[in-house]
Structure 1
Amino acid sequence: MRVLRGLRALRVLMAGCLLVLVPGCASDTPDPLVVLGPWTGKEGEAFEAALQRLDDGTGRTYTYEGTRSLRETLVSQLEADTPPDVAVLNSIGELTEYARRGKLKPLAAPTRERAFSPWAPELLVDGSRSTYWVPLKVDLKSLVWSKKGTPSDDPTWCVGLASQATSGWPGTDWIEDILLHQAGTDPYEKWATSRLSWRDPDVVRAWTTWARLLDGRTEDSVEQSLTTSYEGTSGPAGPRGLLNSPGFECTHEHQSAFIRYVYAGDDIRVEPSARFLGGRAENRDTFEVAGDMAAVFSDDPDAQELVERLSSPAGRERWRAEADPAVRPLFPDTKGLPPTESANTVEQEIDGLLNSTARTLCFDASDVMPPELRDAFHRAVLEFFRDPAKKRLDSLLQQLETIRVQVDEDADDARSFRPPEDVCAGPGG
C-alpha cells in the first residue's frame, strides 16, 4: 500500500508539472501501470516476475499490488478516485457490478477474442455490447486431498473456514460441489445465476449432505474449524496445510488446486471429489472451477496492451516459466502453449483432470452471484457449521431466498448487466 500511495502522489505531482513549470519536474518517462490482484507470497512473486518481463519495447514499467482483501482494497480505491489501471478479480458478480457503474473499460479486439466463453460475456452498456474482462487462469475446485496410504472408505474431514474478510468460502465450495454432482449442471447454473430458489429440494439436499459428511464433530472441533485458516496452522516455513496441522485429527481435505503450494512433499495425493459427495455417475466428469479475470479500469491505452499480453499464449508461457511448480498457473485450454514437464505427480494429476478428464467445467457459483448474496452465503455457511439443526437451516435458507428475491427485483431495470445464465462449458469454451 505504501508503494501504491507513492505512485498516486507521483501522478499528482506530474499533473502539477503540466500546469506549472517546476525545476526537475520535466520527464518523458510515463508512470508505471498499477496492477491490483489476489496473489501474495510465492504466487504474487511469480506473477510480478512475469509482469516485469512483459517488455513491449516502449520502456513502460508495471507495479503489482497483491492483497488477500481484494474487494475491500478496490472499493476504497474507487471511492478515492484512484483505481488501478488493471485489476484481476475472481468474481463475475463484482465485475458485472463495476461494468454497470461505468468503472470498467471495454476490452480491445485482440483480447476479446480470448474471452473464455461463457465466463466473459458481452454486456449491454449504454446501448453498446462489449466484453469487459478476460480470464487469465483457473483453479480446479472439485478435489479431495489426503496423505498417501490413507484409506478413503471412511474419511475424517479437515475443515478450516477462516479467511480474513471472506471467511466461510471453503464451506460454500463444499455446498456448490455437492449440488453440482448431485443435481447436475442445469440446476447448478440456475442456482448460481439466481434463477432457482434457495428452498429448492436440490439446494436443501446439498446443505444436509454437507452436514451428514461432517457429522459427529465436537464443540471444540467446530470452534477450531471456525477460527483456523483454510491454509492450516503456520510453522517455520509458513502454512503447512490442514492435513499437517497439529490438533487436526483428520484424513481428507476438500480444497481447490491452489492449496498444493502448502503440500510440497511427495506424501500427498489428490483425486476428484465426485465419489465422496453422493453424486450421480453422469456428473462424475463435471468439475467446479474458480477463475481470475483481468479488467481495465483506466483510459491509458497501455493498460489495454498489458491485458492483451497477459492473456496471450506468450504471456501465459512466461508466467508459467517464472512460477515454482507448486504455484504454476493452470489454464482451461492449453492450445498454443508448449507442453510443460510437471514437477510431481500431484501437478500431473490436476493438469490431466483439467485438460483431459473434465467433460464440463462450471464456474464457482458464489463468485457468479451478486456480491450481497455471495457475502450472505458466506455468513450462512459459518452459522450452519456451528448449528446444523434443521430448524436453523430452514431459517438460513429463507434469509438467503429473501435476499435473492430482493436483488432480483432491484435488477429488473438492468437485466442486461447480469452475469451469464450459462456458467458451465467444455474445457475449450
Structure 2
Amino acid sequence: MMGLRLGSIRALAFLAVAAVVACGGAATQGKGSVHVLAVWSGSEQDSFKAVLQPFQDQTGIKVEYESTRDVDAILQTRLQAGNPPEIASLPSPATLTKLGGQGKLIQLDSASNPVLDMSTFNSQYAQGWIDLGKINGKLYEIFSWAAVKGLVWYNPKNFAAKNYQVPASWQDLITLQNTIKSGGTTPWCIAVESGAASGWAGSDWVKEIVLSQAGPDVYNSWWQGKTKWSDPAIKSAWQTWGTILGPNNSNVYGGKNQILATNFANGGDPMFKTPPKCYMHNQASFITDNFVKQDKAVAGTDFKFFPLPDVNSQYAGAHVGAGDAFSMLKDTSQARALIKYLTTPEAQAIWVKRGGKLSPNKSFDLANYPDDITRQVAQVMTGAKIFAFDAGDLMPTDMKNAYWKAVLDFVSDQSKLDSILANLDTIQAKAYTT
C-alpha cells in the first residue's frame, strides 16, 4: 500500500513539474544543471534526492547536490571565490538576512521578473511562513518543509509494561521521571553530537523552556539580543533543563559521555532496546524517519509522542518550530524551475510520505502523511496557541555557535552555569553589532 501511495505521489509530482516547465519556457527543458547546497546526509539525503527525481526526469535538468553540516562556512568560501551554488538551503534566517543585506541573493517576487507565480504562492502559504523569507518586504527564501520541536517520544509498550501514564503537566513529567529513576532505569535519552553543529539538539531544550516558561515576549527579546543570557528568565530556563538532566546528568542514559558523544540521529535508539535503557526522548518531528529506518520501529506501535508539557500555564500551548528553506544565489532558468517545483505540495509530499517532514503548504492534503502519528504532529504545529520560530536559527551566526558550545559546556559541568552565561553575554554584546 505504501508503494502504491508513493507511486501516486510521484505521478502527481510529474504533473507539478510539467506545470513548472510550461511556465518556465523551453530553456528549462532538457538542458543544463543546477547546483544545490544543503545539510542533508544519509536517509535525509536519500529523501531529498527522491524529491528531485521527478524534476530531473521530466525536465532533463541535472541536479548536482552537495551535502555539508556547515553550510555557512562553505557558502562564505564559495561567495568569496565568486562561485556560489545556484540554490542553497540556508541554515538560518540570520544567514538569510546577512546574505540578503549583502546583495548575494536573488529576489523571488520581483515585479519585473518574478521567479514565482506570486498569486499561487500567496494563496498556498500562511503569511507567517512567507514573512520569514522576506527582507525589507522583499521575498528571498521559500520554505518547503517544516518541523515542530518539543515532542517527547516514548515506546508505548514500555510505558504499558510499567503502567506509566503520559504526563498532563510539567509537575507530572517531573514525577514520572523520578518514578522511572527510582525503578532503576534512567528516564531520558539525550544526544547532542552533530559535527561542527554539536550542541544544537540540547539548545532545543533551552529554547522550548524559555518560550513555555517565560513567554513569547521574553523569547523574542532574547533571540533579538535585547535580553541578556544572564537575565533571570533565561538563567531559569537553563536551570529547569538541569532538573531534567539531573545532578551529574544522572537522569540521562550514559550520563555526560553518552550525551556528548552520541549523534543526535541515534539519540532515541536506547528506547527500543530490551530491556529499555531509557523511556523518553525529546526531539523534533523529523526524528520519526530515524525511528522507522534505523530502529525498524512502527509508528503507533513502537513509538508515540506527547508535547513537552507547559512549564507555565500562562503560556499554554507554546511550541517552537523550524523549517527547510531555499534561496537562489544565481539566476538561471534551471534554478528558477527548481525553486518553483519545491514550493508545490506535490514535491513536498514525496518527502512527507517517506517520513520525518511536515509541509507548511496550506494546500497540502493531510492524507499524504504516512501515519496517524505524523498527522497528529502536523496538527500540533497548526494548532499551536503560541508558535515561535527556532530562536537559535534567528540569532547571528556567532551567537548561535556560542549557544551550541554553551550547551556542551553545561552538560560537562552544570555548576559553571554563571560563567557560561557571562561568556554568552560577552559574545552577545558583539554579535549583534557586526
Q: Give yes or no for TM over 0.5.
A: yes
Aligned to 1:387: 413
Query: How do 1:321-360 and structure 2 match up within 5 A?
Result: 321=350, 324-327=353-356, 329-332=357-360, 334-355=361-382, 357-360=383-386
Counterpart pick for 1:260 among 282, 285, 288: 288
1:30 shift after superposition: 4.1
Per the alignment, residue 310 of structure 1 pairs with: 342
Which of 224, 229, 237 is the equivalent residue of 1:206? 237
Amino acid at match of 1:123: I
- Alpha-carbon shift at residue 117 of structure 1 (Å): 2.5
1:140 to partner: Cα distance: 0.6
Shift of 1:255: 0.6
Shift of 1:195: 1.8
CA contact (8 A) 1:85 1:298 kept: yes
Partner amino acid, structure 1, of 2:365: P
Does the residue aligned with 2:37 lie in a helix, a strand or coil? strand
- Deviations 1:132-173, CA, capped at 9 Å, x for gaps: 112211101121111104225422121111111100011110
Scaled by the length of structure 1, what TM-score is found?
Answer: 0.77
Partner of 2:398: 372
**Matching residue of 1:251:** 279
> How many pairs were matched up?
362
Residue number in structure 1 paired with 2:100: 99
Contact 1:89–1:294 (8 Å) recurs in 2: yes
CA RMSD of aligned residues (A): 2.7
Structure 1 Cα separation of the partners of residues 91 and 234 of structure 2: 23
Inter-partner Cα distance in structure 2 for 1:104 and 1:56: 27
Shift of 1:191: 0.7
Stretches of structure 2 that go unaligned for 5 or more consecutive residues are 1-28, 167-174, 178-186, 293-297
Q: Provide the secondary structure at the position in 2 that maps to 1:405.
A: helix
**Separation of aligned partners in 1, 2:270 and 2:348:** 28
Q: 2:256 aligns with which of 222, 235, 249?
A: 222
Provide the residue aligned with 1:73 in structure 2: 74
Task: Tell me the distance in 1 between the aligned counterparts of 2:423 and 2:275.
Answer: 34
**Distance of aligned partners of 1:369 and 1:249 in 2 relative to their CA distance in 1, 3 Å threshold:** same
Distance 1:136 1:319, change over 3 A: closer
What's the offset of the Cα at 1:29? 6.6
- SS of the equivalent of 1:274 reads coil
User: Structure 1 counterpart of 2:394, which letter?
Assistant: V
Distance across 1 between alignment mates of 2:135 and 2:362 = 27
Quote the offset at 1:322 in angstroms: 5.6
Q: Which runs of 5+ in 1 are unaligned?
A: 1-27, 234-239, 411-429
Alignment match of 2:152 (pick from 140, 144, 165): 144
* Secondary structure of 1:154 counterpart: helix
CA contact (8 A) 1:148 1:269 kept: yes
Where is the helix percentage greater, Structure 1 or Structure 2?
2
Contact 1:342/1:348, CA 8 A, preserved across alignment: yes
Name the CA distance, whole Å, in 2 between partners of 1:246 and 1:386.
29
In structure 1, distance between residues paired with 2:327 and 2:63: 15
Moved more, 95-104 or 362-371: 95-104
Letter in 2 for 1:380: A
Q: How does 1:230-309 map to 2 (within 5 A)?
A: 230-232=264-266, 241-244=269-272, 249-264=277-292, 265=298, 266-275=301-310, 279-309=311-341
Q: CA deviation at 1:231?
A: 1.9
Deviation of the 1:57 alpha carbon: 7.0
Q: CA deviation at 1:249?
A: 2.9
Contact 1:46-1:324 at 8 Å conserved across structures: no
CA distance in 1, matches of 2:58, 2:349: 22
How high is the sequence identity, in percent, across the aligned residues?
28
After TM superposition, give the deviation of residue 324 of structure 1 in Å: 4.3
CA distance 1:231–1:337, change in 2 (3 Å):
closer
Return the offset for 1:100. 2.2
Instruction: Compute the displacement of 1:59 (Å).
Output: 4.0
